[in-house]
Structures are given as structure tokens and as C-alpha cells.
Structure 1
Amino acid sequence: MLAPMRAAAHVLAELEREIVVPGAGLDRLRLTPVPFVPEVRLHLAEDAIVWWARMEASVGRRLPPPYWASVWAGGQALARHLLDHPELAAGRRVLDLAAGSGLVAVAAALAGADRVEANDIDPYAVAAVTFNARANRVRVTTSGADLLDSVPAGVDLLVAGDVFYDRGMARRVLPFLHRAAAAGTDVLVGDPGRGHLPAHRLAVVADYPVPTTEPCVGSPVRRVQVLRAR
């Protein structure tokens, strides 16, 4: 088994090859503006499932689902909210939890954050954030640690898009968000009304009609809320 630092460098090199030589089919990555946040460009998969299948065949091992290779509704709403209200991030220390592509982290940096960290346990997401920050000419640090049993320190604003996608994740994330809020951190969540969202424990601060980019969603637009942990 590769040591963590060597493994991270290996994944970074793998993803860099995918970006530098993107190919022409559905299994390619391409740098494209985000539909609801066109100020930000991300390296996204033409078809994330096809890309995932090819990459697993190429590297000869199972890979985590490439959530970072698509742009999700909750993250788009949060990023839009930060860019429309830059005072939320300007001059502050920001943590983007379960960052995926790093869209919200990039938006926080563009809004003038003093320091931005993007955290995700998927090493491919960590690598993607590195390349997406570079594409948008902003500075974002990354970490791949599982933070959910901790209390975040040195964070003024914690942002989390699309983290209530299943029951197990919701059970771990919610206490973490409330511990952060209790410690004085401003906590903002973006969510399109998924079934595991504990709406009664969060306060709605904004509502956005976000273009649908997710597979298996029938409507071209989703209503997405930005919520604050009480």
C-alpha cells in the first residue's frame, strides 16, 4: 500500500493526465463555467459514470464515486450566495466541508476570504480542488482527513453543500455542524430539499432556482435553500 503522501501525489498525477489530455468522448474531463455561477470554471466530467468506469479499468482498482466530477445544486447555491454576499467570506477563515470539486471554496476565495481550506476524504476530490483553484487563480489549501468527529478550530465560516445525501452521512454531519456553530463558527449549508435534511434544526437564509445538472432529476430547475445552523 502506498504511503499517504505518495498516494496523494500519485492521484494528483493521474488527474493531471486526464486534464492535460482530455480525450474527445463522454469519458473526458473539460474545463467549463458552472451554470449558476459562471464566474467559476471547473474541470468536470462530460459523463461522470462513463469517466468513472474508464478510470477504474485504467488503474485496475475500485475508485470512490467521482462526486467531484459533477456540479451539485447545493454547492451552486452556496457559491452563488457567497459571491452575491461577499461580506460573508471577506477577510475570514473558511472551511469547505465535503468540498467535492471545490466550487464553494473557490467562490469563498473569490469573495475575498483570508484563508480557504477545502476538505474531502476522496483523494481525487482533493486533487480536483487543487486544479480547480489553479484554473480560477485563487489560493485554496486542501486536506483529506475525516473531520466529523472533531470540533473545527480556527474557522470563521464553515460551508457545506449537498452533505445530507444519505442517512448515515446526515447522522455524522449534523452534530459536527452544531459543534462548529456552538464554538462560534458561522455555518452555512446548501441543500435542494433532500429527505435527510433536518430542516427543523436549520434556519433558511436564502432560496435559489438552480439549473439542474444532476442525473435522474426530472425538472430543469431545482429550488435550493441556503441554511444556517442554529
Structure 2
Amino acid sequence: MTTDRPAFIRAHTELASPPACPEIRLHLATEITPLWQATEDFLHGNNLPPPYWAFPWVGGQALSRYVLDTPDLVRGKRVLDFAAGCGMTAIAAVMAGASSAHAAEIDAVAAEAIGLNATANAVTVEVLLDDVLERPDCPWDVVLAGDVCYERPMAEKVFAWMRRCATAGCDILMADPGRSYLPRTGLMKVAAYTIACSLELEDRTSRDVVVYKVVG
């Protein structure tokens, strides 16, 4: 069994554009189940997380669309794509004129996918393979997070960190399709999109996604 992560990604994905962001090309899976099984078999016994990096989640699509449509948000600024997955939003930020873009991701295979996706779009994205929530500082001007409220412990920890960063003067934007653990306060709606999606990922063929600014 190969341990070549880039080869694994190329073998199990196709270069395609997410519905809301035709400007961006990503290594995406065409079906969920085969890739899930292949990921379990790949580097067997090493506890690889599910291949969330191979799908354009609706929160990330909405946030990336907003960044592309509102380039002044990131132009000339240092940007972090939190829980980046495929790195779509970091790529959008660079396309919109960010001076630098980091993609925070704890999955090593996702980190490789982000690098391949950045190359496919002729942009530079630096991957941070560590837990940025443990950092005492927030050295970015803008933090972007798509769809991070699907588990209560994570949502609470992430939102507390975001509030601290917002209080320190960082612009924090998050996009959410109505997940269960979206905070009830501290958010200001800035945009809304209807994003096409797969029934394999969601329980419908489109989701209404809201982009929020986190208020410190």
C-alpha cells in the first residue's frame, strides 16, 4: 500500500470547481463511500480522519464566494482559513488580493490536498499543521471559518477563540448553514447564499448559508 499522500489524493479525486465558486479548481471526490473506504485502508492503523478535505462543504463555498465578491475584506491583509479542509477559502483569499494566506488544518492528508489545490490555482497558501486555538496571539488581520458548528465542544471552543481575536481587532467571518451549535449571540449577518450540494453530504440538494461577522 502506497504512503504517497499526493498520489493517493490524485488517484481518488478529480479536478473540478465547486458550484458556488467556478473560479476555483479543487481535487474533489466524485463519490463519498469509495473515498471513505480508501481512506480507511490508506496507511492502515494510523487513525486517519475522514476525508473532509475532498468535498466542497456549503459553509466554505459561501464564505469563499463572499471573499471573492468582497475583495476589500482581504486585500493586502494576512488571512487565516481556519479548519481549512480543502483550502478553498484560503485560495479565494489569495485570488482576492490577500498579502498572505495560512490554512489551519490538523489532518496531514488534508494539508497535502491544500498544497495540491493551491498549485492547481497558481497561488501560494501556507499550511499550519497545529492547533491555532492554543496560540496566545492572533497574528492575522482576517480569520475565515466555514461550517465549524456541527459539534458542541468544538463550536464553543472555536467561538470563544474567535471572540478573543475579534476583541483584539481581527476581522472574523464565519459561514454556517444552520448547524445545531451555531452561537445565539455575538454574530452579525453580512450575506446569505443558497448553495447547491449533494444528497450524500446533506439532506437536501441545496442549503441556505449565512455569512456572519463575529462581534468581539
Which TM-score band applies after superposition, normalised by the shorter structure? Answer: over 0.9
Instruction: Indicate the SS of the match to 1:104.
Output: helix
Partner of 1:52: 36
| Count of aligned pairs | 213
TM-score of the two chains, using structure 2 as the length reference: 0.93
Q: Distance in 1 between matches of 2:122 and 2:37?
A: 31
Instruction: Indicate the SS of the match to 1:37.
Output: coil
For 1:137, the aligned partner's letter is A
- 1:161 counterpart = 2:146: yes
Instruction: Indicate the SS of the match to 1:206.
Output: strand
Q: Which runs of 4+ in 1 moved over 4 A?
A: none
TM-score of the two chains, using structure 1 as the length reference: 0.88
Partner of 1:184: 169
Structure 1 residue 218 displacement after superposition: 3.2
Q: Distance in 1 between matches of 2:39 and 2:202?
A: 25
Structure 1 residue 53 displacement after superposition: 1.2
Question: Are the equivalent residues in 2 in contact too, given 1:102–1:118 (CA < 8 A)?
Answer: yes
Gaps of 5+ in 2: none
Structure 1 residue 193 displacement after superposition: 0.8
Residues 159-197 of structure 1 show CA distances to partners (whole Å, capped at 9, x for unaligned) of: 001111111111210111001101100000011010100
Question: Are the equivalent residues in 2 in contact too, given 1:130–1:140 (CA < 8 A)?
Answer: yes
For 1:35, the aligned partner's letter is P
Structure 1 residue 19 displacement after superposition: 4.3
Instruction: Indicate the SS of the match to 2:190.
Output: strand
- 1:63 counterpart = 2:48: yes
For 1:120, the aligned partner's letter is E
Instruction: Indicate the SS of the match to 2:4.
Output: helix
> What is the root-mean-square deviation of aligned Cα atoms in Å?
1.6
Residues 43-69 of structure 1 show CA distances to partners (whole Å, capped at 9, x for unaligned) of: 011223321212322422231011111
For 2:5, the aligned partner's letter is L
The correspondence of residues 3-18 of structure 1 with structure 2, limited to 5 A, is 14-18=4-8
Question: Are the equivalent residues in 2 in contact too, given 1:71–1:214 (CA < 8 A)?
Answer: no
Structure 1 residue 200 displacement after superposition: 2.0
Question: Are the equivalent residues in 2 in contact too, given 1:207–1:226 (CA < 8 A)?
Answer: yes
Q: Distance in 1 between matches of 2:101 and 2:90?
A: 6
Q: Distance in 2 between matches of 1:35 and 1:47?
A: 16
Q: Percent identity?
A: 41
The correspondence of residues 70-109 of structure 1 with structure 2, limited to 5 A, is 70-109=55-94
For 1:79, the aligned partner's letter is S
Gaps of 5+ in 1: 1-10, 23-27
For 2:4, the aligned partner's letter is E
Structure 1 residue 35 displacement after superposition: 0.8
